[in-house]
Amino acid sequence: MLDIKFVRENPEIVKQNIKNKFQDQKLELVDKVIDLDAKARAAQQEADSLRANRKSLSKQIGALMAKGEKDKAEEVKAQVNAQAARLEELEKQEAELQEEVKNIMMVIPNIIDPSVPIGKDDSENVEVTKYGEPVVPDFEIPYHTEIMKRFNGIDLDSAGKVAGNGFYYLMGDIARLHSAVISYARDFMIDRGFTYCVPPFMIRSNVVTGVMSFAEMDSMMYKIEGEDLFLIGTSEHSMIGKFIDTIIPEAELPYTLTSYSPCFRKEKGAHGIEERGVYRIHQFEKQEMIVVCKPEDSKMWFDKLWQNTVDLFRSLDIPVRTLECCSGDLADLKVKSFDVEAWSPRQQKYFEVGSCSNLGDAQARRLKIRVNGEDGKKYFAHTLNNTVVAPPRMLIAFLENNLNADGTVNIPKVLQPYMGGKEKLQ
């Protein structure tokens, strides 16, 4: 969420940013919110004036009563009572106008970084760098669920009967591999200086609206019936929420955290064959990384975060590339975002396995996460997040890139301690 003062002083910048994100239907909101803000401030100023006048009149009443001038005191009381109705009206008006301003400000997108490429949707995202050599073997690579079935590692039919489409049972070595990847990712991030966390898996509505846009909330979140609680779609939600309504001493920054959680997502819409199996599902587990830092450090941390994911995938012999999200593909709160994509030998193309985002002070402003500077001045922190690894999609990349012609699957050295010393899945 932007600062209303910034919108008031820079309406053309805000409008151009909306155009860059191809959200022209929101252009009218800029003038509307500026007008509402002016009315809210006018109501506040008149109310403040009345309150100051009431305070002055109250002193007069006390002085007149002390002098025994009761009649004059009653006249002044009448003035106070006459102003009380107007003050009540103004306070109600001010509250309503401020609520309208807040609701519109929640919809106006954040200002994107100047380096972000301008484009309408994900088809115009820009490749940045490739890491590792993509290989297409001279033998056929089956669909990922077929590879898993060879190891008696997945049961989609039973999961469908128990929970419906979008769920799965993982079993045996495939289930163990899933847990091994999570454990390895946890230790990988701890070794890089991040603090390990297990957060709440449900959050309240004020945290939901603090960490994401309304459109994202509607397409992702599951609501707990009869409770002010939502199942998290990623641990970023509850991890950023951890700092709600806090004032952080500047000397304590940055906070670098890595969190494990299950994730729950609606995943609305129909999807093609390549997004079946365990690619696009309603429940999965993930290791995440979160940073809360000073504004001047967020660019540096953004580059560190996506590089962590690249390094982890390369340590598992999986070729990856980074892709910069264009303006039209950025969620409204994001300043800049990179996707990390893994190579699929079966499809002979890359597919998304993680997303790194710099949200500037948008989440901090919504959740009131402030920093107490050394000079005593308070300012909003910057927040960032990135996927370390989400095993369902990671398993697809892992199995395809480590599959041998005889059907066995190589286990890279770094993962072998988490798999009981196994060098291959037989």
Residue given tokens 């469908």 in the structure block: 160
Which domains are assigned to the chain?
Answer: 4-105 (1.10.287.40), 122-425 (3.30.930.10)
Mean pLDDT of 291-296: 98
272 pLDDT band, cuts 50/70/90, is: low
- Strand pairing of 409-410 and 382-389? unpaired
DSSP 364-426: HHHHTEEEE-TTS-EEE-EEEEEEEE-HHHHHHHHHHHHB-TTS-EE--GGGGGGGTT-SEE-
Closest CA to 391 of 153, 212, 133, 125: 153
Average model confidence (pLDDT) for the chain? Answer: 92
For residue range 76-111, list pLDDT tens digits in order: 667 767 677 788 888 899 999 999 999 999 999 999
Contacts of 161 (CB under 8 A, 6+ apart): none
Per-residue pLDDT, averaged over 198-216, amounts to 91
Question: What does the pLDDT look like over 164-177, one tens digit per residue?
Answer: 988 999 999 999 99
**Phi-psi category of residue 209: left, alpha or beta, with phi > 0 → left and psi -120 to 50 → alpha:** alpha
Q: Which two tokens stand for residue 5?
A: 């003062």
pLDDT tens digits along 224-249: 999 999 999 999 999 999 999 999 99
Q: What pLDDT was estimated at residue 74?
A: 66
Looking at residue 270, its pLDDT comes to 46
* In the predicted structure, residue 276 carries a pLDDT above the cut 70: no
Instruction: For residue 170, list its beta bridge partners.
Output: 154
The reported pTM is 0.89
59, 127 contact by CB (below 8 A): no
- For residue 306, give both structure tokens: 């996506």
| Pairwise CA distance, residues 159 & 252, whole Å | 46
Cα–Cα distance for residue pair 54/43, rounded to 1 Å = 16
User: For 280-302, what is the mean pLDDT?
Assistant: 96
